[in-house]
């Protein structure tokens, strides 16, 4: 590892950097006369870079050496493939998640679940706990919503992706969810990230709407540091200056993330677009940029949806998006995963 220290760093600060290096088992030596370039020889660990960055005298880590953070793709490291029920994300596999923004009534949920299952979804999305901008908006049905999701899995064989908002709810949501979703508003909630990381369930981590790519990766690091190995990142658009679209889908971030991390990356064109007619083109763009999957809001009667109806696509449009996905994935020999689970055999948790 190679550190650059600030010019004129006082002696006591240099001493504390050297003491930390010693604690980590490094042999340290300065490469220049002005004691600015500090070379550390020894076995790097994921936590070392952040610890040195926190030292007042460290200006930059010029070379992390083998002190890779857990999310980082080491040279030549293949994609991590995250399995969730029948879904596979990464390593040339593309999986589609679809469903309503919020779990509404059971009949509606089953209707949407059957419709998306028939045309290519492998996982069903739907919020039982909804993070809303206004406290007076529909907040989701909570535990009742989780029961509806469990029934939808039993009926369709689709695995369940649903959001958890509160660290105290992780255990109960994880009983039903095949994949725990951390929403954009929760990306910096580190107690929640830690709890979800310790749950053993796969995690869908959405990028905060004003989070940098580095902040997203460090949020993933919180989950990975708690023992999770199954984290999927989601680009869902960041806030821009123009209200034409709800958010700006950062396809550059998708392409970049596919290089710097071994974790799978998916896109959410629904929350990026904010308008149903833009979801299909954005879905195409995200997949073409290298995304390993998509999460799409689908509703059978968008006008009656209790949240985000304006961005929900019909099952027919979702079917077209799923067809596009097959064609776009084939361009670089990737496969869109199909549902295998026998519907009759899939009881609660059967698809995990």
Site string for ligand PEP, 184-213 (x = CB under 6 A): xx--------------------x-------
Among the listed residues 20, 101, 232, 254, the single contact to Mn ion using CB under 5 A? 101
Annotate 47-72 with DSSP letters as a single string. THHHHHHTSTTEEEEEE-TT---TTB
Nearest to 71 by CA among 206, 205, 231: 231
Applying CB under 5 A, which of residues 69, 195, 221, 308 lies at the interface with Mn ion? 308
Which CB sits closer to Mn ion, 101 or 103? 101
Are 82 and 93 a contacting pair, CB within 8 Å? Answer: no
Of 221, 213, 218, 215, the closest CA to residue 254 belongs to: 213
Please, which of residues 43-82 interact with Mn ion by CB under 5 A?
none
Do 113 and 155 touch, CB atoms closer than 8 A? Answer: yes
List C-alpha distances in Å: 317 to 2, 55, 266, 296. 52, 52, 19, 11
Q: Which two tokens stand for residue 144?
A: 């009742």
Closest residue by beta carbon to Mn ion: 101
In the set 86, 104, 163, 235, which binds ligand PEP (CB under 6 A)? 163
| Cβ 202 to ligand PEP shortest distance, Å | 16
Cβ at position 101, least distance to ligand PEP in Å: 6
Confirm or reject binding of residue 299 to ligand PEP (CB under 6 A). Answer: no
**To the nearest 10°, the Cα dihedral for 334, 115, 316, 90?**
-20
Name the residue nearer to Mn ion (CB basis): 101 or 339.
101
Q: Of Mn ion, ligand PEP, none, which one sits near residue 131, judging by CB under 5 to 8 A according to partner kind?
A: ligand PEP
The angle formed by the CA atoms of residues 22, 25 and 29, to the nearest 5 degrees, is: 60
Sole residue written with tokens 């936590």: 47
Q: Which helix (H) or strand (E) holds 217?
A: helix 213-225
Number of residues that bind Mn ion (CB under 5 A): 2
Are 92 and 330 in contact by the 8 Å Cβ rule? The answer is: no
- Of 105-113, 147-155, 183-191, 324-332, the segment contacting ligand PEP by CB under 6 A is 183-191
Provide the CA 94 distance to its chain's centre, in angstroms. Answer: 14
Q: Please report, as residue ranges, which positions from 87 to 116 form the binding site for ligand PEP (by CB under 6 A).
A: 101
| # residues near ligand PEP by CB under 6 A | 11
Site map for ligand PEP, 242-281, x if CB under 6 A? --------------------------x--x----------
- Which of 230, 236, 258, 306 binds ligand PEP (CB under 6 A)? It is 236
Q: List interacting residues with ligand PEP (CB under 6 A).
A: 101, 127, 131, 163, 183-185, 206, 236, 268, 271
Q: List interacting residues with Mn ion (CB under 5 A).
A: 101, 308
């Amino acid at each position: 590892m190679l550190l650059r220290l600030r010019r004129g760093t006082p002696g006591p600060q240099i001493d504390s950097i050297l003491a930390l290096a010693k604690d980590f088992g490094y042999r340290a030596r300065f490469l220049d006369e002005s004691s600015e370039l500090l070379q550390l020889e020894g076995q790097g660990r994921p936590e070392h870079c952040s610890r040195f960055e926190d030292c007042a005298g460290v200006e930059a880590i010029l070379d992390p050496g083998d002190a890779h953070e857990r999310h980082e793709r080491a040279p030549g490291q293949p994609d991590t493939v995250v399995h969730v029920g029948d879904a596979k994300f990464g390593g040339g596999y593309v999986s589609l998640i679809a469903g309503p923004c919020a779990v509404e009534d059971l009949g509606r949920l089953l209707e949407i679940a059957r419709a998306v299952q028939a045309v290519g979804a492998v996982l069903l999305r739907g919020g039982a706990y909804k993070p809303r901008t206004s406290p007076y908006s529909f907040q989701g049905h909570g535990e009742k919503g989780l029961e509806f999701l469990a029934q939808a899995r039993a009926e369709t064989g689709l695995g369940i992706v649903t959001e958890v908002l509160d660290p105290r709810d992780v255990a109960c949501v994880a009983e039903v969810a095949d994949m725990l979703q951390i929403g954009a508003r929760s990306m910096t909630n580190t107690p929640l990230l830690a709890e979800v990381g310790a749950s053993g369930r796969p995690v869908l981590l959405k990028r905060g709407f004003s989070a940098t790519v580095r902040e997203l990766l460090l949020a993933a690091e919180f989950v990975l540091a708690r023992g999770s190995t199954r984290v999927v990142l989601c680009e869902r658009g960041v806030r821009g200056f123009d209200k034409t679209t709800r958010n700006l889908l950062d396809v550059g971030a998708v392409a970049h993330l596919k290089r710097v991390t071994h974790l799978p990356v998916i896109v959410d064109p629904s929350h990026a677009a904010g308008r149903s007619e833009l979801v299909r083109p954005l879905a195409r763009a995200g997949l073409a940029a290298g995304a390993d999957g998509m999460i799409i809001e689908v509703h059978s009667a968008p006008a009656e949806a209790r949240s985000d109806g304006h961005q929900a696509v019909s099952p027919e449009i979702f079917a077209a998006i799923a067809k596009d996905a097959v064609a776009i994935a084939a361009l670089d020999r990737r496969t869109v995963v199909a549902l295998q689970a026998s519907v009759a055999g899939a009881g609660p948790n059967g698809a995990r």
